[in-house]
Chain A
Amino acid sequence: MSNVALDIKDLKKKYGSLFALKGISFQVYRGELFSLLGPNGAGKTTTLRIISGLTAPSSGNIYIFGKSLFTEEIWAKNKIGLVPQQINLDLELTVEENLFIHGLLFKMSLKEIKKRITELLEMADLLDRKKSKVKELSGGLRRRLLIIRALMHSPEILLLDEPTVGLDPHIRRKIWSFIKTIQASGTTIILTTHYMEEAEALSDRVAFINKGEIIAIDTPSNFVKKLGNFAIDIYSNNGIVTHFFKNKEEAEEALLKFSQKYPYVSLRKVNLEDVFIKLTGERV
């Protein structure tokens, strides 16, 4: 059995004259949490939509556990769960009804559906809201419902498109541990997010994508290491300039020099956000 869960080969998507994806390729391993990071309009959602069958690609191929997504569409859809960027729950229906319809859509038996609904509501701490209409739920609860709805049919691959956007730090952290629990149960996860600390906390590997192209793939810690371990930010009227250093001694030495020249300087550890800015910020 191969350890590749998802294999994307030279995927292209054209909207009119715009290339949303210019031929991207990557592999995601079984049980891995893989993040797609990139600026607005980079092509993250387009990639996830193609994987889940919502958008047709212009060319390229996708293999799920070795089988082509396009020739084994029904089979593949059963293996995949999608948490879309835009919440698409039935607002007038109850929490339970939303999950029930999803179960039927994925051809689960009534017995399975009932059992799974209780299981997931418990896991997401939503059991007491079972009979509430979705329109009565707060944003955080709707996000959580959106995630467990995608888990109803026990997909082996879960696609999370910005699952914590617009949530407060408490709920965000709750969802992080929720995502980690899902991964621990053996699910392969692909995540997109604009929160770098989220990607750093959760991901086994990350891919940076910009203007429809993958620019680099590695583990978060390798990315950080390549850039250096320490960073000095220099604040001025022209914005922030950051310098990177391999070790603390070098950094402290430089800090002394910079602070004589500039009023605002600060030393800190390098993080994934630095990598993001560095990789996607270069002007063409």
Chain B
Amino acid sequence: MKGFLAIYLREVFLLRKRLFKVLLSFSVNPFLYILAFGIGLGKHLSIMGRPYLEFLIPGLISASSMLQAFAINVEINVARFYLKVFEEFQSAPISPLSYALGEVLSGVTRAFLSVLIIIVLGYLLGGVKLNFSGIFFLVVFLNAFIFASLGLASAMSIKAHADQTLITNFIITPMMFLGGTFFPVENLPPLIKPLIEILPLTLVSKTLRAIAFGEEFYYQNILILAIIAMLCFFIAIITIKKAKD
């Protein structure tokens, strides 16, 4: 278990050194979205019988926890290609599982920081108060776990840092825009809709919204997310084993 702790604490030390900068950068995008879309554009708009801003906040939470969890790939790339500290982990007596757990949980930690910022900003800027319950944060956790695992797996599979941008531009950014962050997926044309429906992020934003609004939702969704999380974590572990030259 100490192996996992070493990896996790290293990321926490690094995070702590630039906490102020990190929190600031986590705030910029949500701040702009809340101001521009939520308040500027959405002032007189309502979706599903609610002010647009209330619709937007759970969407931003799911998108942001995805982005910030996935962003651990940047830290890992730096450790692997620039600092070469990754070799220090490879020569240590720790299992790929410990390594993966340490990195993924550091991604989850980042995701939670960004989510807290959105909740605070939503309240301060728009007075939004929703039902942020334990089960809400469980879904956030699973979402972050999935995308941190994918961030880790992608960092392990690439041969150079430049390849990383490709993955982010082609998978993560489209998902953020289409996965129910800014508008209900129901509005999409019937041809695209089924494709978007099966994205994990769509499932997350729908579930988060339902919980935040105090509505009924399918408990099976949580089970499905947990299974996807396990699967992604498993893939990450395999890519770690393959990262040896």
Contacts and interface: CB of A to CB of B under 8 A. Distances in A.
A binds B: yes
Contacts of B85: 88-90
B92 A97 contact: no
A104 B6 contact: yes
Interface stretch (A78-86, A172-180, A204-212, A265-273): A78-86
B2 A55 contact: no
Contacts, number: 71
Contacts of A77: 91-93
A93 interface: yes
Interface of A: 52-56, 73-75, 77-78, 80, 82, 84, 86, 88-93, 97, 101-102, 104-108
A89 B86 CA distance: 10
B93 A91 contact: no
Contact of B84 (A55, A73, A86, A93): A86
A275 B85 CA distance: 36
A89 B93 CA distance: 18
Interface in B100-129: none
Q: 3 closest Cβ contacts across the A-B interface?
A: A104-B6, A88-B84, A105-B92
B2 A104 contact: yes
B88 interface: yes
Size category, B interface: 20 to 34
A182 B218 CA distance: 63
A54 B13 contact: no
A86 B14 CA distance: 22
Nearest to A84: B87
Interface in B38-80: none
A78 B94 CA distance: 10
B98 to A, nearest CB: 9
A92 B6 contact: no
B84 A101 contact: no
Given A93-B17, A102-B6, A105-B7, 17 more contacts: A56-B245, A73-B93, A80-B91, A84-B87, A88-B83, A88-B84, A89-B83, A90-B14, A90-B83, A91-B83, A93-B10, A93-B14, A104-B2, A104-B9, A105-B6, A105-B88, A105-B94
B168 interface: no
B244 A54 contact: yes
Contacts of B10: 90, 93, 101
18 contacts: A53-B91, A54-B90, A54-B245, A74-B93, A82-B91, A88-B84, A88-B85, A89-B85, A90-B10, A93-B14, A97-B13, A101-B6, A101-B10, A102-B88, A102-B92, A104-B5, A104-B6, A106-B92
Given A78-B93, A101-B6, A55 B245 contact: yes
